[in-house]
Homo-oligomer: A and B are copies of this chain.
Amino acid sequence: MTDPKPAASLVKARLPRGLADRGADEIAAMDAMLAAIKRNYELYGFEAVETPAMEYTDALGKFLPDQDRPNEGVFSFQDDDEQWLSLRYDLTAPLARHFAEHYESLPKPYRSYRGGTVFRNEKPGPGRFRQFLQFDADTIGSASPAADAELCMMAADTLEKLGIARGDYCIKVNNRKILDGVMEAIGLGAAEDAGRRLVVLRAIDKLDRLGPEGVRFLLGPGRKDESGDFTKGAGLDAAAIDKVLAFTDARRSTNAQTLEALEAIVSSSARGLEGVAELRVLDELAKAAGYNESRVSLDPSVVRGLEYYTGPVFEADLSLEARDDKGQPIRFGSVGGGGRYDGLVARFRGEDVPATGFSIGVSRLYAALKAIDSPLVARQPHNGPVVVLVMDRDRIANYQALVGRLRDAGIRAELYLGSSGMKPQMKYADRRKSPCVVIQGSNERERGEVQLKDLIEGAQAAAAIASNEEWKAARPAQISVSEDNMVAAVREILDRHGL
């Protein structure tokens, strides 16, 4: 394995599409963001729980919008018992399994939160990954609309605590029962129409991307996209399509007016009216808690793509405007969503268990926070370790002792471990964003001294000094101290820069 390999047999170092590495700055910023989300979820009384990345395929079920694609959107494989396992595609299906498995021992209602990576075997695209982070909160075992209302309010609070200003976001709410009422009205209410209902659902879910005209094709004969791919339509007639689109377009300027419009649309369906009533209660609870309509708003165009929702559905939308590096406006749209999924636990227990949840799309929300320069995710300059340079390679133990002193004092520090000379070592320290280097040649060692170079001040001074000669004469930001004073002097430099 240690023999040099001919170029032909080399493996190309690359990641599959839709996957990404993360560097230190992004990890630190995202950790700060996740900690803030977690604090807020805990403030609401949710308790942490975690499930593994893989489950039995049948336990997860198949509720993805793209389940008709090859491999059905999910990464699956057989274990050594020939049983099928899948990587989780969301955090809700595994939670339903966890709840059903530990039904007896869990408190009910069971209120939990969890962050974790999920995996989709889908065509990756800009902002569309095959592995991404979700952060969910769920209340299982409560049929109360207060549970749904709470999730909407918590979503609003979370966004504000992350630095999204009031007015720059909106929690949009709809109810699948109203959609069911619309289905009845267009003659798709029977059990055997489940397949076509799904096609209608998915067509509506694409409103944001395709607009009503594109969705009209998907509700009718089907649609050919720019690449020439044809998506089969729901085959509705013109009148039915108009009814569906009228439903999605029923948002009015106040929630009360929207409720009225919806009531008129599903007036003939008991289930539809039940959905309207649930929406009304949710609206009242949110208002009573001080969440006005700019924060929690009824919007019939929101249906959510996942098949398992049975009642209220929510979506957290960002309306804030930001510009990318090229000055182009960016719209962030949905950064999270959720809803009620009363039937998901029933797959295991044979009886419906009321449940509702909200999921944050962490990567998308993170991108938005970066775009608005939220202080929470702002990058800290100069956060590397102090680097002790190596001038005499046969004195490693001495240099290591200097590093040890710094670490014992709680100062992040490292020995330069490469084999290069002085200049590349300084360049290395710069790349590591080191605030300060420690230098000891044989002269200094004989005198029991070290040189400290303040790299932050040095960089500022360098910008001000014109010539190389002047630089060498001044040696700005460099001081000599005794070995015994090294720790105190380094700490002074760190303090000076607020590190």
Contact = CB atoms under 8 A, between A and B. Distances in A.
A71 B76 contact: no
A301 interface: no
Interface string A118-143: 01010100000001000000010111
A348 B48 contact: no
29 contacts: A6-B350, A10-B347, A14-B56, A15-B52, A15-B56, A15-B97, A16-B56, A23-B49, A24-B48, A27-B49, A28-B48, A43-B407, A43-B411, A43-B412, A44-B412, A44-B413, A45-B413, A47-B432, A76-B77, A107-B428, A107-B431, A111-B414, A143-B419, A144-B419, A146-B417, A147-B417, A285-B400, A288-B397, A288-B400
B289 A347 contact: no
The 10 A-B residue pairs with the shortest CB-CB distance in the complex, in nearest-first order = A45-B414, A45-B385, A13-B100, A288-B397, A142-B417, A107-B431, A13-B101, A1-B343, A13-B348, A19-B52
A59 interface: yes
A496 interface: no
A170 B150 CA distance: 52
Nearest to A194: B1
Given A1-B308, A131-B54, A285 B77 contact: no
Contact of A310 (B1, B85, B111, B401): B1
Interface in A407-431: 407, 410-419, 428, 431
A349 interface: yes
A208 interface: no
A267 interface: no
A464 interface: no
Interface of A: 1-2, 4-7, 10-16, 19-24, 27-28, 42-56, 58-59, 61, 69-71, 75-77, 79-80, 83, 85, 97-98, 100-102, 107-109, 111, 117, 119, 121, 123, 131, 139, 141-144, 146-147, 149-150, 284-285, 288-290, 307-308, 310, 342-343, 346-352, 384-385, 387, 396-397, 400-401, 404, 407, 410-419, 428, 431-432
A54 B131 CA distance: 9
**In this complex, which of A47, A349, A385 has the most chain B Cβ atoms within 10 angstroms of its Cβ?**
A47
A277 to B, nearest CB: 15
A80 B10 contact: no
B7 A22 contact: no
A44 B10 contact: no
B346 A4 contact: yes
Given A1-B310, A5-B350, A289-B404, 11 more contacts: A11-B61, A11-B347, A12-B348, A13-B348, A27-B48, A45-B385, A54-B75, A108-B418, A109-B418, A146-B396, A289-B397
Given A47-B432, A77-B76, A13 B407 contact: no
Contacts of A55: 15-16, 19
Contacts of A384: 45, 47
A53 B53 contact: yes
A52 B415 contact: no
A102 B55 CA distance: 34
A118 to B, nearest CB: 10
Contacts of A45: 384-385, 387, 412-414, 432
Nearest to A12: B348
A21 B284 CA distance: 37
A391 to B, nearest CB: 14
A131 B416 CA distance: 35
A4 B350 contact: yes
Given A13-B101, A24-B49, A107-B432, A346 B44 contact: no
Given A146-B396, A407-B44, A52 B131 contact: yes
Contacts of A146: 396, 400, 415, 417
A58 B148 CA distance: 46
Contacts of A418: 108-109, 141-142, 144
